[in-house]
Structure 1
């Protein structure tokens, strides 16, 4: 199979597998809160409110998988194998998704979500390491961008379809002389399990481990997590610096997620518009991840990361100011949509280029350990953002967004001072208005 625009065919296959798995996994973001609020889930709440348990169930995925990623990434480096760990994670995802249909108490949901968090720890760093291993210095950005694009398509499609699948239930399935009735929730859980199964089949049949030598890094997985620069030329290790920026970006994205009711009240809009605003970030990512990743292969990574981090500051802050802007001729709801879309543009300029740059830095055979720093940081940011916004919004609507924008501002300084280009750009960045 011929490479498409410099993208390795196996990366395309892996991207399709992650897209399939992401559809089912993102289904649960919508389905689980509805399931918790239904009569199908009962039992002790451990003295906690149902709302808190819902947030815990959703957040625990990130809090479980993120700290485990350096260990699973290091394990794949030591063995020189990635595929087996991806397959193991997909099996756990599929089994847990199916098991939701058997759950009836809150603790069942928490245990199953923990299992899925463990599965994510096996899937996330090893798939990114696979992309890095299959790519070259000349096309790493394009491969990372394409992989992230497909993954985000799956993440964006799942929530759109999930509510409809639940609402259309129960389903009647003829089985000879009898008819099997399936609730909308069970149908959603079966669908999530089937998408993970499809991903398993794609990885099993189309992906092979690249020819890499198993590495024997000294010490534990945490020893590869370098905070300070070992050369002494800068304060922070460059990969750790990229992890800081990834964490700040993820927090800025995620503070919006838990403020649905407040945003709808402030902007006098319905939940459909909030869903569109939430999706605007993903939409921008889908359009831009691949071309921006490809552009970094020619013009370098750092310039895009710096520009994206700078753009994160105003696009995050303005979301908290939208109710007070009152722009003539434009509704507040569409201003929020535009701000979220532009924040997505900023995110596209940061994450895939940062992964590509970390891949440039990674020693041979250690991409699992190296890239897990960024994927772990992003996972922690996605998990921490909603919790931070829930606390900070008590001081005012703008406060969570201002806090996240301030973090992005710190990220600008970190990138400018602590991160250097590894490979010389093949082309100079064009200057607008340059006089010749």
Structure 2
């Protein structure tokens, strides 16, 4: 059994992994950075809140919808080529965001950013699978996972600092030199590898999957704003979900009959891919659901700023960043099942701990230990789940698997936010959400008390979900086994 052609050059692959980390970092930062610039966008562009929310939602909608297609296109055209094209699009879109003269221009630029991000992210997993044999992928995936965890926190913190010092436009313009550096490093250090088998694009699958994912994603991001009811005329959020589900079922029917499907159903015959993918989705549901609670608690109950919120997340990011590479390294040696199980249990314990200590009078520093424990759990799940998901797959299935895994994580994260938001809205009066949190006086106190009472059942659901998922982790085999898949170098 021989390693892939470039896997023997340790220095080259080390720089390659660092480059892939950089590309993932810049995309993940931009998934969260907009959340801290809402007041500035409203004031500077004269936009309404609904318009500004689409600066965030437009990115998420396109990003989530295109991940499966982009992952598959990487297998057809080559992951390095698609990565380069995504970086070019992301760079141009970031420049357009920074120069936007109206909120409409900004939304269009953000949609293009989402498309570029969807082209970039799946290629990281695909290229690592091609560069490393199965028993060496965990450490490399750990580095990328650590980068993504840190990026999710750097977005609000770094964005808040940049906006405070130079304005919201520079939060986008700073991407340009970073993307240019990533382009140069990719051209120099990332080899152009492709599976031996030629593949074709399943256009019918692209249409059905994209339409279904648009509907599901739209329902998740817009459901809370429409109170899960009417959108326009007879169209309601439940109708949108039903349409999305019907389209995805039609997509599965189509895939069973297509000779070269967009999402090969053979993926799900591999137990490791199915189990690890589900566990990765649970991790994102719990993580992003908790982050919504933390943000609302810090800013609404405790009256903290966006920067305060980012600083509260730092222990979580630090633990995830430290443990992800270690967890990936251990996965290469002993398998990921027990590591993932421990990580999900740590997440459940951390979420439960946060629910116990969170109160209107709790100091920000007291929130750090439970969030650090959640971060440790995230670090123990992210890299092992990715490594376990692809460890047994033939080379030709890896690009599609990367798109499916990233899409699942993205949708699971949005589901976590929607689930938590729906539970909290049951207990918190809608008028209280209009900015009463953190204020002195009876109204502020009433909001704080109502929010604490509402957040605890939401946190209980998240903790229970993580705990239940933990007992599915032993279904993964205890030891990774590398496959002798062959990849063809397209250029030295």
TM-score, normalised by the number of residues in structure 2: 0.71
> In 2 relative to 1, CA 162–27 (structure 1 residues): closer, same or farther, beyond 3 Å?
farther
Q: Is the 8 A contact 1:69 1:125 kept in 2?
A: yes
For residue 175 of structure 1, what is the aligned residue in structure 2?
none
The alpha-carbon deviation at position 402 of structure 1 amounts to 1.7
Within 5 Å, give how 1:349-428 maps onto structure 2: 349-394=380-425, 395=427, 396-417=454-475, 419-421=476-478, 423=480
Deviates more, 1:239-248 or 1:344-353: 239-248
**In structure 2, how many angstroms separate the alpha carbons of the residues matched to 1:17 and 1:263?**
30
**In structure 2, how many angstroms separate the alpha carbons of the residues matched to 1:314 and 1:256?**
13
Secondary structure of 2:396's counterpart equals coil
2:170 pairs with 1:136: no
State how many pairs are aligned: 389
Secondary structure of 2:133's counterpart equals coil
2:304 pairs with 1:301: no
> In 2 relative to 1, CA 57–411 (structure 1 residues): closer, same or farther, beyond 3 Å?
farther
Secondary structure of 1:38's counterpart equals helix
Deviates more, 1:208-217 or 1:118-127: 208-217
**In structure 1, how many angstroms separate the alpha carbons of the residues matched to 2:349 and 2:281?**
17
Determine which structure has the larger helix proportion and give its number. 2
For residue 436 of structure 2, what is the aligned residue in structure 1?
none
Q: What CA deviation, in whole Å up to 9, does each residue of 1:416-436 have, x standing for no partner? A: 34x3346369xxxxxxxxxxx
2:18 pairs with 1:12: yes
For residue 75 of structure 1, what is the aligned residue in structure 2?
73
Q: What CA deviation, in whole Å up to 9, does each residue of 1:334-379 have, x standing for no partner? A: 3321111111111111110011111212212321112322211211
> In 2 relative to 1, CA 86–280 (structure 1 residues): closer, same or farther, beyond 3 Å?
same
- Unaligned 5+ segments in structure 1 are 170-183, 231-236, 426-436
**In structure 2, how many angstroms separate the alpha carbons of the residues matched to 1:246 and 1:3?**
28
> In 2 relative to 1, CA 64–271 (structure 1 residues): closer, same or farther, beyond 3 Å?
closer
**In structure 2, how many angstroms separate the alpha carbons of the residues matched to 1:358 and 1:13?**
22
- Unaligned 5+ segments in structure 2 are 1-7, 201-258, 428-453, 483-492
Q: Is the 8 A contact 2:45 2:103 kept in 1?
A: no
For residue 194 of structure 1, what is the aligned residue in structure 2?
177
Q: Is the 8 A contact 2:275 2:472 kept in 1?
A: yes
The alpha-carbon deviation at position 389 of structure 1 amounts to 2.4
The alpha-carbon deviation at position 324 of structure 1 amounts to 5.5
Q: Is the 8 A contact 1:125 1:368 kept in 2?
A: yes
**In structure 2, how many angstroms separate the alpha carbons of the residues matched to 1:215 and 1:8?**
28
The alpha-carbon deviation at position 85 of structure 1 amounts to 0.6
The alpha-carbon deviation at position 226 of structure 1 amounts to 5.0
Q: Is the 8 A contact 2:284 2:413 kept in 1?
A: yes
For residue 38 of structure 2, what is the aligned residue in structure 1?
33
Q: What CA deviation, in whole Å up to 9, does each residue of 1:121-170 have, x standing for no partner? A: 2111112110111111221111111222234444444433332332223x
Q: What CA deviation, in whole Å up to 9, does each residue of 1:296-345 have, x standing for no partner? A: 1112111111111222222123323323699xxxx553332111111111
Q: What CA deviation, in whole Å up to 9, does each residue of 1:108-132 have, x standing for no partner? A: 3333222222112211111211011
For residue 115 of structure 2, what is the aligned residue in structure 1?
118
Cα-Cα RMSD:
3.0
1:98 to 95, 98, 116: 95
Secondary structure of 1:122's counterpart equals helix
Q: Is the 8 A contact 2:277 2:405 kept in 1?
A: yes
**In structure 2, how many angstroms separate the alpha carbons of the residues matched to 1:94 and 1:32?**
20
For residue 281 of structure 2, what is the aligned residue in structure 1?
247
Q: Is the 8 A contact 2:71 2:400 kept in 1?
A: yes
Secondary structure of 1:366's counterpart equals helix
**In structure 2, how many angstroms separate the alpha carbons of the residues matched to 1:148 and 1:92?**
23
> In 2 relative to 1, CA 96–16 (structure 1 residues): closer, same or farther, beyond 3 Å?
closer
Secondary structure of 1:281's counterpart equals helix
For residue 10 of structure 2, what is the aligned residue in structure 1?
3
Q: Is the 8 A contact 1:129 1:367 kept in 2?
A: yes
Q: Is the 8 A contact 2:338 2:473 kept in 1?
A: no
For residue 214 of structure 1, what is the aligned residue in structure 2?
197
Q: Is the 8 A contact 1:31 1:185 kept in 2?
A: no
Q: Is the 8 A contact 1:239 1:373 kept in 2?
A: no
Q: Is the 8 A contact 1:357 1:422 kept in 2?
A: no
TM-score, normalised by the number of residues in structure 1: 0.79
> In 2 relative to 1, CA 105–13 (structure 1 residues): closer, same or farther, beyond 3 Å?
closer
Secondary structure of 2:290's counterpart equals coil
